[in-house]
Amino acid sequence: MKRDSGYSTMAAQQKQEEKLWDAVKTSAMVLGTGLLIFTAFMNSASWYVQKIWETSGNFWQTAWLNLYNLFEGKEWSLFLFGAALVPALAFWCFNGILMVADVTGKPTFITRYRIQLGKNDPVDTKKLRQAIYTALFNQFFISLPMLVPMFHVMKWWGNTFSKELPTFQWFLVELSIFTVTEEILFYYSHRLVHLPLLYKHIHKKHHEWTAPIGVVSIYAHPIEHILSNTLPVMTGPMIMGSHIVSIAAWFSLALITTSISHCGYHLPFLPSPEFHDFHHLKFNQCYGVLGVLDYLHGTDTVFRQTKAYERHRVLLSFTPLSESIPETPKRAE
């Protein structure tokens, strides 16, 4: 009887192993097929986008040459236009719309998507003025002077003011490198300024806003503005020796995305600001931009247990996530 029991146990184990192996093979086949389909799709999508880019390429190339000729090839003027003026206009135009909503509560199309309900409704205009003054100071007296050494680095590369624009595919490669570089430098510099001594004297200024608004994205102590706001964004293009058009696009994109992260509204079809909004609410969670390093270092564990984490996705409808995924009501004590 014992021998029969041993045989049946071995047979059961062998059967389980066979099932497990079959499951592994099935998973490998599904994942492999999915990877092949995904790769084929990405190659096709990239090919079609490149074709569209090439079709409109004459337009963009001609526009760039016209701009180049307008500045008579003066590289410093072109650099200031692309690296300072264009991003600044993008920042203030975008935040101008948000500030109207912050101050007036209108249009409701924006304000109904408020993340921290009841906060900044309306915003304290005295605090807002102080944030605007600080943001302008940082742009004119910190960011602008930092463009001088950057200009010389780009001149050394020799590609920044080329009359030929980079291909769309190369720009996507650069954009990926810019994003990874920013994530690494911002995460660790941000963790650095959260050390007690540096937090007290430097980073505390930024955290005066526990419910942030867009313009607060560059409301910071000058040292923090250099270490965490400016250098992480500037480093990628300096490593790659990028074209001024790529720099202008990247700087504008970086300023708009950080404004979205701070804006306090989870708007439809835009990146989710829940991650960084939670950082302003709790201080010791969600230090990065993408969230990858937070996951690896375990600095998002509290965030992952909240409703904010459930809402942390691109909103693909017009129903506010604060309504579809509301906070759990607090128990009466």
Measured in whole angstroms, the distance separating CA 314 from the mean position of its chain's CA atoms is 13
Closest among 247, 51, 91, 279 to 155, alpha carbons compared: 247
- The rounded distance, in Å, linking the Cα atoms of 319 and 302 is 26
Tokens standing for 259?
Answer: 């404004």
Res 73: pLDDT: 87
Nearest to 279 by CA among 116, 119, 165: 116
Helix axes 244-262, 86-104, angle to 10 degrees: 20
Angle at the Cα of 250 (from 244 to 255), degrees rounded to 5? 125
Which residues, 6+ apart, have CB-to-CB distance to 249 below 8 Å? 171
* Token pair in block for residue 22: 């079959």
Q: How far apart are CA 164 and CA 157, in angstroms?
A: 15
The pLDDT assigned to 59 comes to 87
Alpha carbons 188 and 293: distance in angstroms, whole number: 9
Q: Cα-flanking dihedrals φ and ψ of residue 12, to 5°? A: -65, -40
pLDDT values of the chain reduced to their tens digit, one per residue, 333 residues: 545 555 455 555 565 555 445 544 554 555 556 556 655 555 655 566 566 666 665 888 999 999 999 999 899 999 999 999 999 999 999 999 999 999 999 999 999 999 999 898 899 999 999 999 999 999 999 999 999 999 999 999 988 999 999 999 999 999 999 999 999 999 999 999 999 999 999 999 999 999 999 999 999 999 999 999 999 999 999 999 999 999 999 999 999 999 999 999 999 999 999 999 999 999 899 999 999 999 999 999 999 999 999 999 999 999 999 999 998 876 654
Radius of gyration over alpha carbons of the chain, in Å? 25
Tell me which residue of 179, 178, 254, 190 sits closest to 224, measured CA to CA. Answer: 190
Instruction: For residue 265, give the 3-state DSSP assignment.
Output: strand
User: What pLDDT, on a 0 to 100 scale, did the predictor assign at position 327?
Assistant: 85
* Stated pTM of the model: 0.83
- pLDDT the model gives residue 329: 75
Cα–Cα distance, 151 to 202 (Å, whole number): 28
| CA angle centred on 38, ends 33 and 42, rounded to 5° | 150
**Secondary-structure percent of the chain, ordered helix, strand, coil, rounded to 5:** 75, 0, 25
Q: 85-120 burial by CB neighbour count: b if 16+ within 10 A, else e?
A: ebbbebbbebbeebbebbeeeeeeebbebbbbeeeb
CA separation for the pair 87, 253 (Å, rounded): 8
Q: What is the DSSP letter of 114?
A: B
Peptide bond into 232 cis (omega under 30): no
Q: Which two tokens stand for residue 150?
A: 């950057």
Q: Which two tokens stand for residue 121?
A: 């409704």
Rounded CA gap, 158 and 242, in Å? 9
**pLDDT at site 176:** 96
SS3 317: coil
Residue 54 confidence (pLDDT): 62
**Inter-residue contact 113 to 266 (CB < 8 Å):** yes
Q: Which residue has the tokens 């004459």?
A: 58
